């Protein structure tokens, strides 16, 4: 495929790996922020290839994984209502809530539909005027513009039977929370290329400066990630802590400004719970007051649904990079993708599911990963 196969070239990859090995004088600890990058690393076996030169910690950037239990429970309650058509991206359907998932609700007769865009959900609202169509607006800054657009259009068109259940999160507060943690081990970040395509990287500059940590905006193909690692390792070796851009074919410093503008007109920063991590102040997006009528939580009075995250959950340690998935005693035993105990085992971009699906626990000695 044009513009893709060239980023998966084995010979070039080996060259970059050699450069990383030659550059690193010690084993640096880097975190890839985005679940898409985690997926590539584990799927392509980059973690094995890079071996002793770099330790990768898999960050909290899988939107499916960090959606709090409480929001899942609200989604389940909505989807079970006979007057609701509940729409969602596909990978949210298997995420366990307190006692079941959206697949179970569908098997019991709930109208749960997979859509590929929030605008498809808005179209459904037009086709089913007798039903309330709710879209599960999950994701980082990447999906926020499309969700903002759907709400904007709904308001413009005066659609009364469309709303969104919002669980949007933003990347920079999560990185700050990781860096502030007393047990933090992360020395450099590969920032999420798609998030930065929308947001640019100006908001990462103060983080790099304050915490003296290199941040490299990185893409998702194997060569992107290897190059991102190399750029981060070079900064660490040279004592620099800058924001650099590896993903130049997609990301500009200012990002996509019309998209940012749309997002900020529809959404505002709010405190948000993260599954396995807890509440992070001003880390999420919520609908602004002018768009409150499209907020499913208000429309359906879901405020009474309050679910506490189990305090003993080890998913938080995995998401913060303190625990490798296979170091959890439940991994691959009580906890599998068929029957996930924790969110990171659910999505293909979750660290636990990536390790499980691609068999890391069977092929690699834990000490080498």
Partner 1 sequence: MSTLICPTPIATDDRVQLGHGSGGKMSAGLLKARFLPHFTNDVLAQLGDAAVVDVNGQEVAISTDTFVVNPLEFPGGNIGSLAVHGTVNDLAMMGARPVYLSAGFVLEEGLPFDVLDRVVSAMGEAARAAGVLLITGDTKVVERGKADGVFINTTGIGLMAPDFTPGPARARPGDAVLVSGPLGRHGIAIMTAREGLAFEAEIESDSAILYPLVERLRAAAGPDVHTLRDPTRGGVASALNEIAAASGVGIALVEPHIPIPPAVAAACEMLGFDPLYVANEGVLLAFVPEPLAEPCLAALRAHPLGRDAARIGRVVDTHPGMVVLETAIGGTRVVDMLPGDQLPRIC
Q: Which of residues 231-270 bind partner 1 (CB under 8 A)?
A: none
Residue with tokens 């599998």: 336
User: Taking CB under 8 A as the criterion, which residues in 98-127 touch partner 1?
Assistant: 98-101, 103-104, 106-108, 114, 116
Closer residue to partner 1, CB minimum distance, 154 or 315: 315
Residue from the set 74, 94, 299, 320 that interacts with partner 1 by CB under 8 A: 94
Minimum gap (Å) between residue 211 Cβ and partner 1: 27
Instruction: Tell me if residue 96 falls in helix, strand or coil.
Output: coil
User: Taking CB under 8 A as the criterion, which residues in 129-188 touch partner 1?
Assistant: 138-140, 142-143
**In this structure, are residues 48 and 368 in contact, taking their beta carbons and an 8 Å threshold?**
yes
Residue from the set 93, 217, 236, 243 that interacts with partner 1 by CB under 8 A: 93
310 scored as a contact of partner 1 (CB under 8 A): yes
Residue from the set 214, 219, 222, 321 that interacts with partner 1 by CB under 8 A: 222
63 scored as a contact of partner 1 (CB under 8 A): yes
**In this structure, are residues 343 and 95 in contact, taking their beta carbons and an 8 Å threshold?**
yes
Q: Please give the structure tokens belonging to residue 167.
A: 């669980």
Question: Which of these ranges, 159-167, 278-286, 289-297, 326-334, lies near partner 1 under the rule CB under 8 A?
Answer: 326-334
CA dihedral (265, 274, 358, 105) positive or negative: negative
Question: Which of these ranges, 21-29, 79-87, 281-289, 330-338, lies near partner 1 under the rule CB under 8 A?
Answer: 330-338
335 scored as a contact of partner 1 (CB under 8 A): yes
d(CA 136, CA 157): 20
339 scored as a contact of partner 1 (CB under 8 A): yes
Site string for partner 1, 274-293 (x = CB under 8 A): -xx-----------------
d(CA 346, CA 352): 8
Residue with tokens 């599960």: 136
Closer residue to partner 1, CB minimum distance, 80 or 341: 341
Site string for partner 1, 28-57 (x = CB under 8 A): --------x-----xxxxx-xx--------
**In this structure, are residues 167 and 67 in contact, taking their beta carbons and an 8 Å threshold?**
yes
Closer residue to partner 1, CB minimum distance, 172 or 340: 340
Instruction: Tell me if residue 170 falls in helix, strand or coil.
Output: coil
Q: Please give the structure tokens belonging to residue 61.
A: 């950037």
Closer residue to partner 1, CB minimum distance, 283 or 348: 348
d(CA 327, CA 238): 33
91 scored as a contact of partner 1 (CB under 8 A): yes
d(CA 137, CA 70): 14
The candidate with the shortest Cα–Cα distance to 30, out of 5, 53, 4, 6, is 53
Residue from the set 74, 241, 273, 314 that interacts with partner 1 by CB under 8 A: 314
Phi first, then psi: what are they for 272, rounded to 5°? -145, 135
């Amino acid at each position: 495929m044009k513009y893709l196969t060239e980023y998966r070239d084995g010979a070039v990859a080996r060259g970059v790996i050699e450069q990383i090995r030659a550059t690193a004088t010690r084993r640096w600890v880097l975190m890839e922020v985005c679940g898409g990058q985690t997926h590539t690393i584990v799927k392509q076996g980059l973690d094995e290839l890079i071996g002793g030169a770099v330790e990768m910690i898999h960050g909290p950037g899988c939107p499916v994984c960090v959606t709090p239990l409480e929001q899942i429970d609200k989604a389940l309650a909505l989807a079970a209502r006979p007057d609701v058509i509940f729409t969602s991206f596909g990978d949210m359907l298997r995420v366990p809530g307190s006692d079941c998932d959206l697949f179970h609700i569908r098997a019991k007769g709930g109208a749960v539909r997979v859509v590929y865009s929030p605008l498809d959900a808005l179209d459904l609202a037009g086709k089913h005027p007798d039903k309330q169509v709710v879209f599960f607006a999950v994701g980082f800054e990447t999906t926020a513009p499309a969700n903002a657009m759907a709400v904007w259009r709904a308001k413009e068109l005066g659609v009364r039977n469309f709303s969104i259940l919002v669980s949007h999160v933003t990347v920079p507060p999560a990185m700050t929370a990781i860096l502030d943690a007393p047990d933090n081990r992360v020395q450099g970040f590969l920032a999420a290329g798609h998030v930065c395509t929308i947001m640019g990287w100006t908001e990462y500059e103060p983080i790099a400066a304050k915490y003296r940590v290199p941040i490299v905006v990185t893409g998702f193909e194997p060569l992107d990630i290897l190059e991102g690692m190399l750029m981060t390792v070079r900064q660490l070796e040279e004592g620099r802590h800058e924001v650099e851009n590896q993903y130049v074919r997609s990301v500009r410093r200012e990002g996509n400004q019309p998209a940012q503008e749309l997002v900020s007109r529809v959404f505002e920063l709010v405190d948000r719970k993260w599954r396995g991590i807890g509440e992070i102040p001003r880390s999420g997006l919520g609908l602004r007051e002018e768009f409150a009528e499209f907020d499913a939580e208000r429309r359906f009075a879901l405020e009474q649904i309050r679910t506490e995250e189990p305090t003993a959950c080890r998913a938080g340690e995995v998401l913060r990079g303190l625990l490798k998935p296979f170091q959890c005693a439940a991994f691959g035993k009580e906890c599998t993708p068929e029957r996930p105990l924790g969110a990171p085992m659910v999505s293909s971009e979750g660290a636990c599911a990536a390790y499980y699906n691609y068999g890391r626990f069977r092929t690699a000695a834990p000490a080498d990963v």
